[in-house]
Structures are given as C-alpha cells and as structure tokens.
Chains A and B, each alone.
Chain A
C-alpha cells in the first residue's frame, strides 16, 4: 500500500467517525435527520417546526463539539509528530514537554485573575485567554527544550525530568489559582485539567479552527526539513537547512496551535504521543506522510474517544483526559522501555 492510499483510508475513516460522532450522544440523530437539518439551514428544505428543538440541539451543542473535538485531535496529533521530530525522540509530546500545562496555567491566570489583577489584558478582550495560554506554553516549552538539549543532542532522562518539573510547577500554579478562585471558576478549572469538550460552542471552535488552519500550512511544508533533521543538526545543515532557525520556527507554530486548543478544551495528554507512534509502526517515519497522517489520525482517534466519553456513563460524561491517560500511559511506558533497552528498530 502506498502512503497516498493509506492517507485516503484515514480520510475515509475520519469521515465515518465524524458522522458517528454527530449522530451518537444524549440525543440520537439519524443520518437522514442530519441531512434534513443541513438542508433547512441552507434553505433547500422548508423548516419542520416539529424538529425545531432537535435542530437547535444539533447545531448549538452537537456540531460545534464534534468540530472542536476533531480540530483538537488533529492539533495534538500533528504537534506530537512535529515535537518528536524536533527533539528527535519518540517520547515527546505537548503533554510531556510542558506545552499543554504551560498553556493551561496561562489560560487559568486570565480566568481567575483577569478582571481584577491583570487589567493590562483587558484591551485584548476574548483573545486574552489564548494569548496568555500561548505565553505560558511557549515559556514552558522553551524551558524544557533548553534544559534537555545540550550540544545539539537531546538527553532522554534530562528531558523526562525537565518535563516532570515544568509540568509540576505549572499544575501547582493552576492548582493555586483554582484554590483562590471563587466557586464557579474553580470548578471549571478543575474539570479543565482533564480536558473536556462539554463547553464547546461556535465561538471557541472558531478560534481553534482559525489558529489550526493558519498553522497547518507552514507545518506541512516542513516535511523535508524534519526528515533531514533525523540525520542530526550537522548533517541537516549540509543539506542547506538552518537547524536552529527551523527548530525555533516550528516550536513557535506548534506552541500557537497547542495553546489555542488547550485554552479552549484543557489539557488532553498522550494523544500526541500515541498517534505518530502508531503511524510509525504501521508505515515509516517519512515526515511528508507523517505530518498530514498524524493530523488525520489524531482527529479520528479523538472523535472515537469523545463518543466513548459521552456514552460510557450516560447520562453523565467522563472527562476525556481520563480516557486518553488510561490508553496513553501504558503506551508511553512501553515506548520508554523499548528505548531504554536500545531497541528502537520498530
């Protein structure tokens, strides 16, 4: 099978997952019903008053959630692939490298302190949350990067330790904020540490969509450079690439993308770890294939997990981060032990 047909299969599966995710939940919608809703919105069909409530539920609650979920999954999958390429290490992902926790801290600081103590942010309006998330995420990621990468080589153990330390500092900060916060804010922060799509609306979804689309194109153009980086920075340089510029630029784009998603849905760990690794096991590490495929598989996986989160303890909902951690943590240990024993020939 060629990379192209594999990618087409992923697209097909993603479409199926999107339809399933739109249909399944507290309200069940049949495909025919969803077509009628779409027809009514587009003005092709006369509105049916008997279904007005269902139509509203679909457009106001279900659809933005499905779209946000797919965008978040694509963001995390793509981010995992890019970060693993930059650190030249298969255990890196935004959850490990502090990107997500830093973003959460930045966003939480606006939620809790925003109106009273951070007046300088008020001209930013609703953009303050994603912008502060970006600042937090970038600071945390650069910190981990600088600590773990010495003499152009990433040390796995320093990377793990730096990741643990930065994540702990950021969660301590977020925990402190939720402690001093008044009740409604506090509950939303606590829930948000595990990631959730329940708060999805068109406003949030649009922000994540705009940032994702803006970041996707420059990311996808770097397939060749990320491949060349596998040879090490010196040899990538001999192929005409400036590794330092490349790494800084991609970390910046990557942080923007992850920060936007994290500011809206909270920290969802391990998706960025599992997705590129599955693709490497099934195919190979050619980044020209891996980048688009990671975005597609990330979205696909996230839709499936979100459907599970919606139905498994219905009518209640499980925070999505619980499921991703449950699947991802053992996976992480498995990769780590394989790497520890020097068998990376997967």
Chain B
C-alpha cells in the first residue's frame, strides 16, 4: 500500500441496527483507476461516502489521504483536491449548465471567479461535449446530459494541468447508472484522461466488463466485507464472480481480451 493515495484502515460502520461495513482495510492506488465491485447492498456507496469524508464520525477505523488523517484537512483545502460524483442529482431550482459547472470552482475562489476559473469551466464543458448547451437550464436536460454536467462540475473541481505533481482524488459513485452505452463509455474515458492530471480515480461500477475495460485495480465487496483485491481482470477468478454475484459466468474472447458472459 506504499503507493496508495487514500487508505482506509479497519473501517466499520453500523447504521440503523445493520452492520454495513465490517473492518475494511484497503488502499486506493495513486494515479490509478480503482474500481469497487459488488452486488447491491454490498456497501459500495457507504465505502465511497466514508472514503470521501461525508460520513466523518466512525466508530472504528481511520481514513487518510496521502498519509495525513482526513480530519486534519481544512474543508476548503480538501474540496480543492477531492471531488465526488454522486448518483443522479436533482436540482429544485433552474440553473444554467455553466453555473452548475462553476460550482466546482467554488472552493477555489472567494467573491468573484477569476478568468482562469471561467476558462476551466469552458474546458470542462468542452471535455464532456456540453459546450453548446451551456446556457440551457439544468432541469430541462435529459438524464445523460445532467450526468455529463455533473461530471464537468467535479472535473472542474479537481482540474490540474497535465503532468502536474499535485495529487487529487476523484470519486465516482455508480457514475454510469441509467446512462446509455455511448454515455457510459464516454464518461469513463473522459474520467480516465484525468489520471494524467494527477488524479486518483475511485469508481463503483455494476458492469464487470465495463470495469475490466477501464479499471486498473479491483476491490470486491460482499456483505460489507472486502473479499478480494485484484490488479488485473485476469486475477478475478470465475468461482469468485459466480459466488459473489450469484450468476453463471463464462469467459468469452473479445478484442484480444477475456470478457464474461453472464447467465442466471
């Protein structure tokens, strides 16, 4: 775990009388695309909320970023280096797309945004191909466009030049849920380009084949426990997949790589 950007050590979580996480210890590899896998209710979202600092009071365990405990970071300082894309964000009031993306720059300025902040918002919008819709009101967008807008917002939050030395962390909580195929691939590919900008990515995904296409490290959760870690898709045994997801899995060769075909 010496190259880990974020380390969880002995993290447990109980809520509403249910043990959601049992003694989870892991390190998300710095500069890599880390993927959290697991069936519904395995504790993936809770794990991300704890790692991202939303659930701060833990009964057991610690979270640290770059070897410093999470609670030693000032709120603004942490927000400049850690962003989170949640599942489907609804907004009660109409706001233009570019104003939503500008929120990602809020931790970076006081009062009025700088010319650089505006430039970053423009670049983030271009990256997710939403430039032409920048004046449109958020509630009038389709589900996919909303998710792209939110992605642009979190990218703007941890925006760095390519080849930067400063490290950031980008959490994506089931970012592809309810997106069509094109949006799913585009979103993950766009996020991946941020590895070159100093980002460590931590994403929870349901689709194993999609995860194997984009991920570098794999963490398998089951019933609140970390049951397996893998550095490559080849290190994910058939027996594990079939047990954890309760499916029959057959390997198929596609594009020179091994992928899985699932049946119940």
Contact = CB atoms under 8 A, between A and B. Distances in A.
Contacts of B75: 240-242
Interface in B64-119: 75-76, 78-80, 82-84, 86, 89-96, 99, 103-104, 106-107
A40 interface: no
A183 interface: no
B54 A90 contact: no
B39 interface: no
A285 B93 contact: yes
B84 A224 contact: no
A88 B49 CA distance: 22
B36 interface: no
A345 B92 CA distance: 9
B223 to A, nearest CB: 24
Nearest to A346: B94
Contacts of A241: 75
Given A231-B103, A284-B99, A88 B52 contact: no
A230 B153 CA distance: 14
* Interface core residue of B52, B76, B90, B95 (most chain A CB under 10 Å): B95
A87 to B, nearest CB: 9
B157 interface: yes
Interface residues of A, number: 26
Interface of A is mostly: loop
Contact of B95 (A89, A90, A230): A230
Nearest to B141: A345
A345 B86 CA distance: 21
A238 B82 contact: yes
B233 interface: no
A157 to B, nearest CB: 15
B79 A284 contact: no
Contacts of B143: none
Contacts of B106: 224, 227-228, 239-240
Contact of B92 (A88, A238, A284): A88
Given A232-B89, A345-B139, A237 B95 contact: no
B185 interface: no
A235 B94 contact: no
A285 B79 contact: no
Contacts of B127: none
A14 to B, nearest CB: 24
A238 B103 CA distance: 11
A284 B94 contact: yes
A195 B7 CA distance: 60
Interface in B173-195: none
Nearest to A228: B103
B19 interface: no
Contact of B84 (A89, A228, A238, A286): A238
Contact of B83 (A228, A230, A238, A280): A238
B92 A344 contact: yes
A51 interface: no
Nearest to B93: A285
B260 to A, nearest CB: 33
Contacts of A346: 94
Interface in A28-81: none
Contacts of B79: 238-240
B236 interface: no
Contacts of A345: 94, 137, 139-140
29 contacts: A88-B93, A90-B93, A224-B103, A227-B95, A227-B103, A228-B103, A230-B91, A230-B92, A232-B89, A232-B90, A234-B54, A235-B84, A237-B54, A238-B54, A238-B82, A238-B84, A239-B103, A239-B107, A240-B79, A240-B106, A240-B107, A242-B75, A280-B93, A280-B94, A284-B96, A285-B93, A286-B95, A345-B94, A346-B94
Given A242-B75, A344-B139, 7 more contacts: A89-B92, A227-B95, A228-B103, A230-B93, A237-B54, A239-B106, A240-B76
Q: Which 5 A-B pairs have the closest CB atoms?
A: A240-B79, A285-B93, A345-B139, A240-B75, A240-B76
